[in-house]
Amino acid sequence: RNPTPNPSPSGRGANAVLLPSAAPLPEGEGLGVGLADLVRIYEANEIIFCSKDIGSQEIMAHMAHIGPAVSYKIVPEESLSIIGSSSKDEPGELYTIDIRYNIAQPSHRRDKRLLDLFLCLVLLATIPLWLIFSRKRKMIRKNWLLVLFGQKTWVGYTPNTQNDTLPTLKPGVFSPVDALKDLKVNEETAARLNFFFAKDWEVERDLTIFLKA
């Protein structure tokens, strides 16, 4: 499956790379040229995946490797008409699903670190309370210094073999699964929880998981 550079279907003048494509690559751009190389060569700012021909894990692996500088879209497999327009006078739009990991954005990573430090201070000021009432007091006490010095984060991914396709995070003391209390989830569900945690991350999500855990 060779990725092929194309003008953006959105009509906004952006450079796009469609993956996969049956069209041949220009001479000299064979199998040795990867998607990241094409993004750099063509200065693409948009990548469009067809979910019929490329798996979700492979898509996430590409996204994690290339990073947040590029906009990602996915054409759903069941979509029969993907290009259309709300007006005959406007260029066609590609109806797709935008995927961008919030947790990969520098501003959100900074917010996450500040939240970790804030929670460390709150825990320090409320030692008597959580030592008496928290069921996770041993875990908090064991990891407090590790979070303070940036070796861990209070909320991270659930341990999973598919985490290498997501933006990197410090090991978490708690994870999205902990917010589900004692509910057991399989590996596929854990992978989905991690995916949406990374994609939709915000300060409130970390706080909610931390408090529920």
**And the tokens for 71?**
């906009």
83-84 and 71-75 as β-strands: parallel, antiparallel, unpaired?
unpaired
The full set of domain ranges for the chain reads 2-100, 104-212
Q: How many CB atoms lie within 10 A of CB 116?
A: 20
Q: How far apart (Å, rounded) are the C-alpha atoms in residues 151 and 142?
A: 13
Q: How far apart (Å, rounded) are the C-alpha atoms in residues 194 and 31?
A: 32
The set of residues, in sequence order, having a beta carbon less than 8 Å from that of 113 and lying 6+ positions away, is 150, 153
- Give, for all 213 residues of the chain, the pLDDT tens digit: 445 445 444 444 455 555 554 344 444 343 334 788 778 766 788 887 777 777 778 888 888 888 888 887 777 665 543 433 333 344 445 444 556 899 999 999 999 999 999 999 999 999 999 888 888 899 999 999 999 999 999 999 998 877 888 999 999 999 998 888 777 778 888 888 898 899 889 999 999 999 988
Hey, which residues does 97 pair with through a beta bridge?
Answer: 74
pTM over 0.85: no
